Amino acid sequence: MKVVLFCGGYGMRMRDGASDVPKPMATVGPRPLIWHVMRYYAHFGHTEFILCLGYGAQHVKDYFLNYAETASNDFVLHHGEVELMSSDIKDWSITFAHTGLDSPIGERLRRVRSFVEHDEMFLANYADVLTDLPLNDMIDAFKRSDAVGSLVAVPPQSAFHCVELGEDDRVSEIRTLQQMPLWENGGYFALRPEIFDHLPENGDLIADACMPLARAGRLLAYRHEGFWHPADTVKERTALEAHYRSGRSPWMLWERAAARDPLQAAIAGLGTAELER
């Protein structure tokens, strides 16, 4: 399936006031977040990507256009020409589409409609959340349904406590948010082209399409209680970096596969950095 990635937002909470790098280009280990998300999809066989660019578009394009120069690839410089010895993205197809500096997510999706509207279904993602979600299970459940869209639902991440009050304002219960019967939108979507019938110009994917579909019983959720971690803030990205540095990176499912079958990993074209870890 094709994968639409929304990577054109400003990501103000991640900015340091000086850098103009968009949030999906913030790094975890030596790689940007967007690479981790794309590599996750590639692990499941989805290697055709459509990047909805906006703010900081040049950083995204430069990273992939100059991919031979990244630390993950071995290459030969022969008479000024670069020849890659191996590449972990050699089977990827990446479409770079400018979708506006200030466009909401729904409008970004509308602007790449021509790339996916003739497919039975496609995948979409905010490009800044990492997970070990069993993607094939989510897709299979969606295929069996008549829903227009499906999203992964995850337990709330906030550390705040919820306080239940009686009529006299006495506290009757204190619970963590995770103990409440609530679920968050985890940002991993499977969609049918019918979604475009519900997206107005300059609309929002959630407010203008998903909410009405939910009320009509046409939106599916896949509950995931495994690893799911956003990178909206510096604190959250630092936590992901700690996972990576510790050697425990639950979202890097491809490395588990490589550990089980190193030869198959080499055939698939994993870079030397992954094979050596």
Nearest alpha carbon to residue 16 among 233, 236, 242: 233
pLDDT on residue 277: 42
pLDDT on residue 19: 63
Rg (alpha carbons) of the chain, rounded to whole number: 20
d(CA 180, CA 178): 5
Exposure b/e, 169-206, CB count within 10 A at least 16 = b: eeeeeeeeeeeeeebbebbbbbbbeebbebbeeebbbe
**267's tokens:** 């055939």
pLDDT in tens, the chain (277 residues): 999 999 977 654 445 555 678 889 989 998 999 999 999 999 999 999 999 999 889 999 999 988 766 655 667 777 766 666 667 788 899 999 999 988 999 999 999 999 999 999 999 999 999 999 999 999 999 999 999 999 999 988 776 778 888 888 888 888 877 777 789 999 999 999 999 999 999 999 999 999 999 999 999 999 999 999 998 888 888 999 999 999 889 999 998 887 776 655 554 444 434 444 4
d(CA 251, CA 37): 9
The upper half-sphere exposure of residue 43, i.e. CA atoms within 13 Å in the direction of its Cβ, equals 20
> Residue 144 in contact with residue 137, Cβ under 8 Å?
no
Is residue 156 classed exposed, middle or buried when 0-12, 13-18 and 19+ CB atoms within 10 A define those classes?
A: middle
Residue ranges of the domains in the chain?
Answer: 2-155+182-276
Alpha carbon 173 to chain centroid distance?
36
Under CATH, to which class is 2-155+182-276 assigned? alpha beta
pLDDT on residue 159: 67
pTM for the model: 0.85
